[in-house]
Amino acid sequence: MNCPRNTVAGLLAALFVPFALQAADLWQAGAGRVRITPVQEMWMAGYGSRARPAEGKVTDLWAKALVLDDGKGNRGVIVTLDLVGIDREIAGKVCARLKKEIGLDRHQISLCTSHTHSGPVVGQNLAPLHYAILDAEQQELIDDYAERLPKRVSMAVKGAIDVLAPAKVQWGSGKAVFAVNRRENKPYGAVPDLRARGALKGPVDHDVPVLSVRGEGGELRAVLFGYACHATTLSFQQWNGDYPGYAQIALEKAYPGATALFWAGCGADQNPLPRSSVELAERYGRDLARAVQDVLSAPMPVLSPSLSLRYQEIDLKLQQLPDADELKTDAQSANRYVAARARMLQKRLESQGALRGAYPYPIFFWKLGGSIDFISLGGEVVVDYALRLKRELHGRRTWVAGNANDVMAYIPSLRVHREGGYEGGGSNIYYGLPGLWDEGAEEAIFRAVHDLSGKEN
């Protein structure tokens, strides 16, 4: 049956025209930022091949915060950090500070890192790769940076709260195609030809989720967006936000006065290819920013002010834990990372009496406006997780962040776990985990996500 034209027009207006809303339809929202670029020449994160500290900067690094309040007693803050990752200890200190100074509880705080490999080493994140092999001076700089980070994050969140104001929140989804499945397309030098022939292989997630925050007059105040790809375009010796940083810069230039915030998706097995130049990082940043701008310039569905915040930690099981004799042998290994991990685990064994056979894995499930599932998963999560969650939940209305809250290791799917390789378990050495994940890890995470998705606020 055909609907009368005026009925169709009314439905479209209700869905897409953002500025006809009443006061009851408005959120309270605000965004803040604080620079977190190191001021000293400390060690850079992400690559074991580096042989010296940073030598200046190309772009600044930022801690940014977006606070959303639905006016019904529910407030959440999304913090984005231009860092390779943070560990459980730092996340705990950040949240403890926000609790003490602002009154926010753990389930209200989602900490998302961009995973740039051109930022500083942060605390014990990737400890055997960095911390455990550096001299005392560099270790002191790392400790000092980690100690100061919670204060900087708190400043960004306070800045966002200070500018809380009525806002219209909308969502959309775009597309950017520079992410390539790095497990399935080797050598990397062949990628341009494979792309030109449409012959790239392996699963990818090219969606670009976008959340816009506009003032009552329609001005863009903040835009939150994500993408599933490693921030590994660059590997030089200068501070740089990589393609996520350039995307944020481009958006803030295009929308003066707005704050652009990036979260990394499930891109643990995805690379920006080709890579290795600032020009490429800038190009990928522009490509991503254009995808966001395309969404912002089109009609976007409005999110009613409704915020449901859920958080759970599950014991994610490990297997093949080493005993004292194995650690003693590994501590003498010619592989300095194997030896560094073994020495760290020896200290843990001595202080705790045993190695724990499970890890407290953090999962957030936020429902925005009754429509968007915003899921934050710890660790470097492979793309299979996002693709499966979209199938099982709400497609493009399901947004899945990785590298969030605690980046303790790679999180392989069962498929990747059985295939092995770096993402399948080899990387656990560099993260300091005592063993591989149990084969039931994927299902345990999915059970927890589905359980959280079905809970009432």
Residues 40-59: pLDDT tens digits? 999 999 998 888 999 999 99
Q: What is the pLDDT of residue 5?
A: 38
Given a cut of 70, is residue 189 above it in pLDDT?
Answer: yes
Taking only the tens place, the pLDDT of each residue in 399-445 is 999 999 999 999 999 999 999 999 999 999 999 999 999 999 999 99
pLDDT tens, position by position, 248-293 = 999 999 999 999 999 999 999 999 999 999 999 999 999 999 999 9
Percent of the chain residues topping a pLDDT of 70: 94
- Summarize pLDDT for 342-379 with one digit per residue, the tens: 999 999 999 998 999 999 999 999 999 999 999 999 99
- CA atoms of 286 and 92, how far apart (whole Å): 34
Lowest mean pLDDT among 22-31, 67-76, 393-402: 22-31
**pLDDT for 13 beyond 50:** no
Average pLDDT, the chain: 93
Confidence of residue 21 (pLDDT cuts 50, 70, 90): low
Confidence (pTM): 0.93
Round to whole Å and give the CA distance between 421 and 440: 18
Phi/psi of residue 70, nearest 5 degrees: -90, 0
Residue 455's pLDDT is: 66
**Predicted pLDDT of residue 132:** 73
Question: 397-412: buried (b, 16+ CB within 10 Å) or exposed (e) per residue?
Answer: bbbbbbbbbbbbbbbb
Segment 80-96 shows an average pLDDT of: 98
At 10 the pLDDT is 38
What mean pLDDT comes out for the span 368-395? 97
Residue 18 has pLDDT above 70, yes or no: no
pLDDT given at position 25:
81
pLDDT of residue 131 exceeding 90, the answer is: no
Q: What is the pLDDT of residue 232?
A: 97
**pLDDT above 80: residue 4:** no
Q: Which of 23 and 181 is assigned the larger pLDDT? A: 181
Q: Which two tokens stand for residue 221?
A: 């105040």
Check pLDDT > 50 for residue 302.
yes
pLDDT of 170 reads 98
pLDDT of residue 428: 94
